[in-house]
Amino acid sequence: MKQTRRLIRLFSLALCAVAVLVAVTYVTMVRTNSDRWLNSAQNVRLQEARKNTRQGTVYDSAMTRLAWSDAVGERSYIDDKSVRLAMSHTIGDQKGMSETGVENRHATTLLGLNDITGRDKTIQRLMGGDPVGYDIVLTVNAEMCAYAASLFPTGSRGALAIINYKTGAVLAKVSLPAFDPADMSAYVEDTSYYDRVLQYRYAPGSTFKIVTLTSALENIPGVASKTFSCESVWSFAGSTIRCAGGKAHGSINLNKAFSESCNVTFAKLAYEIGASNLKTTAENFAFNDNFLFEDIVLYPSGCLSVSQSVSEVIQTGFGQGTTQATPLHMAMIAGAIANGGEMMEPRLIREVRRQNGGSVSHMTPRLYKRVTDADTAREVAYYMYQAVQSGTGTAARISGYSGRVCGKTGSAETTNDKEAATNAWYVGFLYGDEEHPYAIAVIVEQGGSGGSAAAPIASKALKKAIELNLY
């Protein structure tokens, strides 16, 4: 009888735990979708509020005024066009063309609609002024963004993200091509409104080898001391894997295979790791997650389907096949390695303030998830350091900087046409630098080699971030 009661209690506790989990998930998803609707340009309440409320000001992290309203129904933007363009996807617009911009994603805050009690607006009316929304101070630095945008070749498409991997603060965010929030009548192609940092999912190419390397260290005993063979081409399970430029790496260890970005070795590693283990590691790194962040809308990255073929698994090993990731997610992955295996939630808003300067809320760093243990993260960081010291990422080295620059290049195919230019990637971080805990992701669409097109941009951008002492 006692055994039966004990089983009933255990079953009841299990049901309660499941119910709580379902409730939390439901509330989170409802809150997120509700926020998106409340901030939608189609929301009638939002349209009405703009007719009788002066919107709050948007500042960058240096308190540079980016967008403001001197009167109800008006909106002004910073005079510097290079800043407007570089930060267009972060600032947003008044017509609702940008889904991810602060003026869109956080319109209710700028209009004070989240003043639940109405206290602030009541005080404003008693003082004889128009109702005024809240001000937003961003984590992003405008000078940094304008400089980063200038590093890309003229007319190119691409994206750059720099984060503080200790706090999750997004320090720079650039998406090209851009639009001008101060002149929405100017013609731009439709894709200019898409934020490539947050919304574009690219094949990560060899930058995904960070994940495959982690999985190999976790699942293959003694893999660091093994020797592999690369004859430039490997045909297996219906796939033909080639190393860039037809290079045959010969007999090669894991460290050199990573530094020189040997596709054949990492395809073989993926096969040995196995679909289940590789998928588990990728999901530890937040692939296939439905990101529900407070400050930003980040599209999910995808890796390995439920019923993946052997061919898909080995293609995944070096970031091709069906693998997709956003630039911000890749910066988060690099940052997690630098941060001892801890991935922080990305934050875009440092502070929400009242017009009188009183604070409504401050940014609080939040751990998103642990991607691997600290020892494995430290070993992967060493491999990434070697890739910059003597591998494909040497162009990411920073002149005059005495700290450790770690990274991984990638040249991702976007078509079966081997003559087509690849997307050029670089992801990396500054390691062990407590004053400058920066992680970066750069992609230049059809830029060719990651080592020659993306790594130099990362080097210059990180050097600028150090000079500005971003936090």
Determine the average pLDDT of the residues in 249-263. 97
H helix and E strand count, the chain:
16, 17
Determine the average pLDDT of the residues in 220-229. 96
Q: What is the pLDDT of residues 97-123, one digit of tens each?
A: 998 999 999 999 999 887 644 555 555
Q: What is the pLDDT of residues 406-428, one digit of tens each?
A: 999 999 998 777 778 999 999 99
| Gap between the Cα atoms of 46 and 208, Å rounded | 41
Angle, vertex CA 333, rays to CA 327 and CA 338, nearest 5:
125
pLDDT band, residue 11 (cuts 50/70/90): low
Determine the average pLDDT of the residues in 335-362. 94
Domain 205-468 sits in CATH at 3.40.710.10
pLDDT at 129: 63
Q: What is the pLDDT of residues 311-344, one digit of tens each?
A: 999 999 999 999 999 999 999 999 999 999 999 9
Q: Which token pair is 371?
A: 């991607």
Residue listed under structure tokens 């691409």: 158
Residue 12 has pLDDT above 60, yes or no: no
Residue 128 has pLDDT above 60, yes or no: no
State pTM to two decimals.
Answer: 0.89
Residue 214 has pLDDT above 70, yes or no: yes
Residue 184 has pLDDT above 50, yes or no: yes
Beta-strand runs (E) in 152-265: 158-164, 170-176, 227-230, 233-236, 239-242, 250-253
Helices 374-390 and 327-338 sit at what angle, rounded to 10 degrees?
A: 110
Beta-strand runs (E) in 312-370: 342-344, 349-353, 359-362, 367-370
| Gap between the Cα atoms of 345 and 150, Å rounded | 28
What is the 8-class DSSP label of residue 372? S
CB atoms within 10 A of CB 60: 23
pLDDT band, residue 23 (cuts 50/70/90): very low
- 112-145 core/surface letters (b: 16 or more CB in 10 A; e: else): bbbbeeeebbeebeeeeeebbbbbbbbbbbbbbb
Q: So where are the chain's domains?
A: 205-468
Task: Please answer whether residues 114 and 108 qualify as being in contact, where contact means their C-beta atoms are separated by less than 8 angstroms.
Answer: yes
Determine the average pLDDT of the residues in 384-398. 98
